[in-house]
Amino acid sequence: AELIDPAIKGTLNVLKSCAKVPSIKRVVITASIVSVVYNGKPLTSDVVVDETWFSDSRFCEKNKLWYMASKTLAEEAAWRFAEEKRMDLVVLNPGFVVGPLLQPSLNYTSEVVLAHTRGENIFPSSIYWLVDVQDVAYAHIQAFEIPSATGRYCLVERVVEFPEILKTLNELYPTLGLERKCEELHKPLKRRYQVSQEKAKSLGLSFTPWERSLRETVESLKEKGFLSI
């Protein structure tokens, strides 16, 4: 009730409004990588997830992954509506968006990074699909302006585990005092599955390395007074 209904109704409300305006030639939607990867397939190190993957809403509901279910059902509803109305729809599926804050307040992702600076993981998963906010913004512009843009675009620079994020923060900012926490979480970093960047790069996108995005997030948190180190 809290996640699924607003996601579907909110998406359809906007699309219905767009369908009433003849001058609107294309609609670009911000979806999520969670409407791509949650289908029960094993995500082993040799797997490359791409735009042909779709999350399974039944799998999400069965496992009580309500946020993932809401994003999946909302994207499914959008594609059905676009097909019915012959609407030119482009969908972007970004991962966990990090980078400098535009607004003066904390949003959820910046709260998660702020918790990381304390050695805490408040995200429900230890796996992150990281992408820079500026790359996501640029992808939206390109998806709107390039006539040949079509279908879905996965936007993920790297799939990273929480211990690796903590290790990188400790290297960038030793004064955070995360060394002991890193030792507690120490384990050999294994190669994870990848998310294909091939189609995203057709938009002219060159992904920002996640380590730089992380550093810019922390610098932004410091600049806006949320973090003092």
CA nearest neighbour of 138 among 219, 96, 200: 200
The residues, ordered by sequence, that sit 6+ positions from 45 with a Cβ below 8 Å of its Cβ are 190, 191, 192, 193
Q: Output the CA–CA distances (angstroms, integers) from residue 90 to 75, 108, 140, 153, in the order listed.
A: 11, 25, 9, 8
**Number of alpha carbons in the 13 Å side-chain half-sphere of residue 54:** 13
Selecting among 41, 71, 181, 187, the annotated active-site residue is 71
Q: Which helix (H) or strand (E) holds 73?
A: helix 66-85
30 bridge partner residues: 92
20 is catalytic: no
Binning the chain into helix, strand and coil, the percentages to the nearest 5 are: 45, 15, 40
Catalytic site positions: 71
